[in-house]
Structure 1
Amino acid sequence: MALLRLVLNIIWLLFAGVWLALGYALAGIVCFVLVITIPFGIASFRMANYALWPFGRSLVRRQSAGGLTLVGNVVWIVVAGWWLVLGHIASAVGLAVTIIGIPLAWASLKMIPVALAPFGNEIVSSGVPREPWQI
């Protein structure tokens, strides 16, 4: 299973991961330049890391997310989220053309929730047991 994840991550990196991570990194740089949006930049770089190596990791909702998280996510959607979602959809369509690309297309679609709402979510390793207090 670990070998399959490694192979899928390498193929992903070559065909979609680099381009999607560059999109997230560009959004993060813009957020850092604007200074007041530095928390958005930090979230963007966290998502760029996820976009580079998605297999073997998953998205988990944090229980401690509050009302400020909702406000941050709404601002994110308006400023950068919908652009990144379009990038994920475009890459999924391109990857789904081949049989080998179907799992990669699914991974791209799986990342849409974190592209829309980076705050209040956490990227964790799949298959690692978590304590309730860590969520």
Structure 2
Amino acid sequence: MRQIVNALLLRDGHVLLARRSPTRRAYPDRWSFPGGHLEAGETFEQALRRELQEEIDIAPQTYRAIEEIADPVAADTTYHLYAVTAWRGTPIIRDDEHTALTWFTLGSAAALDDLALEAYRPLFRRLADARL
């Protein structure tokens, strides 16, 4: 099984989305979240902290697991989503995996027609209802 952690940075009814590079094998040029694969021996939380440092130069302070999503195309892949509500640093792109970082309201994120996974749409709606 391929295990992937993803971070939903949430602040004042907004979520930070990362535009995947057009050269990415999976879901190129689509909106997704910062994150990545677990390395050997890592916990989900360790992978979350490492990936956020590597990809967007932040250190998560307050976070919790909120959802698991099975990849609809790659049956051996599961995404472990974390809501991150406090962090140190300012998110910036640090690698070539993403071409943009953009804050969206949860409602406008749910309306995007180029999300990496359709399962994000109802998640954004639930988060908006929870007022995170």
TM-score, normalization by structure 2: 0.30
Bigger radius of gyration among the two: 1
Higher helix share: 1
Higher strand share: 2
TM-score, normalization by structure 1: 0.29
